[in-house]
Chains A and B, each alone.
Chain A
Amino acid sequence: MSQSKVYMVLSLVVICLISAFALAQVYTLTKAKIEQAKIEAVMNALSQVLPNAISFEEKESSRVWFGYDKNGNKVGIVFQVMPRGYGGPIGTLVGVDSTGKITGLRIASPAEGLKETAGLGLRVREDWFRNQFINKTKNELRLKKDGGTIDAITAATISSRAVTNGVREGLERYKKYWSNDSTSPNE
């Protein structure tokens, strides 16, 4: 009886050890690749919104990145804002050049945690909506019904307004980064 109990415990211990060993091996093998994939995903997203930049430097963790061209000149910044939409925060990456013009907008996918309603608020991800922001400056960034230039999505005003206002507020908040004044050497 006691022997079978010992065997019971022993078999569990052995199987746990084998499993842990196998997983440790695979973890070491894939670790570098996983890190690389994560960095690539971020870089892809950044270059989508700031196409002129070929390298990026993280300025504020997961919030602000500086973009540089191939000669190492700063061509603009990318910042992330999380305006509150209808279902939750809308993760929005915004690219800005040094004159304060928007160069691109990327909105997180539902898989990345976007909670907007499919067919309504989720349509903020559509190209026509996002492309309205390109080349616009701060004062133009309001919905048309709020006196600006951005067409809202039919029946999804809350989400449209959240994104538009979020981008505008982000431009204001991170002005010290995108405007040329900040590149002074005593920064």
Chain B
Amino acid sequence: MIQLRQMNKKSSRLKYLTNGIILENPTLILMIGLCPTLATSITVRDGLGMAAAASFVIIGSNVVASLLRRLIPATVRIPIFIIIISTFVTLVDYILQAYEPGLYQVLGVFVPLIVVNCIVLGRVEAFAYKHNVLDSMLDGMGKSLGFTLVLFVMGTIREVLGSGTFWGRPVTPAWFRQYPILLMILPPGAFILIGILKALLNKLMKPGS
């Protein structure tokens, strides 16, 4: 019996990690964090840069909030969460400026805006405040993976169709690069693409309908 319970616990632990990838994908299922997804997925490199920065903040805030969860008074938990999150965001800001100035310039205003990325506060409030450190870290990693996956897929499709390149390298014939599908690198293209992805995922998850 005890063994079974431990087994259950282990598999639910693993679920915290894997849930975020598809079943509770932050962008496509929970539909949060859409703004940075649309804005920074013009190229694969920018998208993954955003994903890395946001992942660091998501995991870091989840761990710290979970560590402090018994000390944080419930009445002021949201301001405290925001302080923790903005500390991590400012760290990312400094580090990117120092070591990846090119990427920092491309991501621009979206780095400071990670503070208000709903994925971060959402996970801290809904998960980390009620779970232990290890589980919170796994949850943060899972949601980060899901966010990264969507940014990678969107970035790949938009860069290949919109610029004819992948990670800055040409992958399509020269004539295509001369006249690529411009819509894909413009904001409407991002909206259309995320709609298509969401529709595909819905179809896959409910095969009967």
A residues whose Cβ falls under 8 Å from a Cβ of B: 4, 7-8, 11-12, 15-16, 19, 22-23, 26-27, 30, 33-34, 37-38, 40-41, 109, 111-112, 118-119
Min CB distance B43 to A, Å, is 11
B22-30, B67-75, B115-123, B134-142 - interface stretch: B67-75
Residues 100-119 of B at the A interface (beta carbon under 8 Å): 101, 105-106, 108
Min CB distance A86 to B, Å, is 16
Q: A8-B75, A11-B72 are in contact. Are A37 and B80 (CB under 8 A)?
A: no
Ranked nearest first, the 9 interchain pairs of A and B with the lowest CB-CB distance are A33-B98, A30-B98, A37-B101, A19-B87, A30-B94, A119-B182, A34-B97, A111-B106, A111-B105
By the criterion CB–CB under 8 Å, are A8 and B101 in contact? no
- Complex CA–CA separation, A120 to B95 (angstroms): 35
Any chain A CB within 8 A of the CB of B175? no
- Chain B residues whose C-beta falls within 8 Å of the C-beta of A40 in the assembled complex: 101
Any chain A CB within 8 A of the CB of B186? yes
- Complex CA–CA separation, A109 to B107 (angstroms): 13
Residues 56-101 of B at the A interface (beta carbon under 8 Å): 68, 71-73, 75-76, 79-80, 83-84, 86-87, 90-91, 94-95, 97-99, 101
**Chain B minimum-CB-distance residue to A10:** B73
- Complex CA–CA separation, A27 to B83 (angstroms): 17
Interface string of B146-165 (1 = CB under 8 A from A): 00000000000000000000
Given B83, B94, B95, B106, which contacts A15 in the complex, CB threshold below 8 Å?
A: B83
Given A12, A22, A27, A111, which contacts B80 in the complex, CB threshold below 8 Å?
A: A12
By the criterion CB–CB under 8 Å, are B76 and A8 in contact? yes
Task: Using A12-B76, A26-B94, A33-B99 as known contacts, list a sample of 19 further A-B pairs with CB atoms less than 8 Å apart, ordered by residue number in A.
Answer: A4-B73, A7-B73, A8-B76, A12-B79, A12-B80, A12-B83, A16-B83, A19-B84, A22-B87, A23-B87, A23-B90, A23-B91, A26-B95, A27-B94, A33-B98, A37-B101, A109-B105, A111-B106, A112-B105
Min CB distance A45 to B, Å, is 12
Any chain A CB within 8 A of the CB of B44? no
Any chain A CB within 8 A of the CB of B48? no
Min CB distance A96 to B, Å, is 26
**Chain B minimum-CB-distance residue to A12:** B76
Residues 142-190 of B at the A interface (beta carbon under 8 Å): 182, 185-186
- Complex CA–CA separation, A27 to B87 (angstroms): 12
By the criterion CB–CB under 8 Å, are A41 and B185 in contact? no
Min CB distance A122 to B, Å, is 10
Min CB distance A118 to B, Å, is 6
- Chain B residues whose C-beta falls within 8 Å of the C-beta of A23 in the assembled complex: 87, 90-91
- Complex CA–CA separation, A111 to B105 (angstroms): 6
Min CB distance A115 to B, Å, is 13
- Chain B residues whose C-beta falls within 8 Å of the C-beta of A19 in the assembled complex: 83-84, 86-87
24 contacts between A and B (CB under 8 A): A8-B73, A11-B71, A11-B72, A12-B76, A15-B68, A22-B87, A26-B91, A27-B94, A30-B94, A30-B95, A30-B97, A30-B98, A33-B98, A33-B99, A37-B97, A37-B98, A37-B99, A38-B101, A40-B101, A111-B105, A111-B106, A111-B108, A118-B182, A119-B182
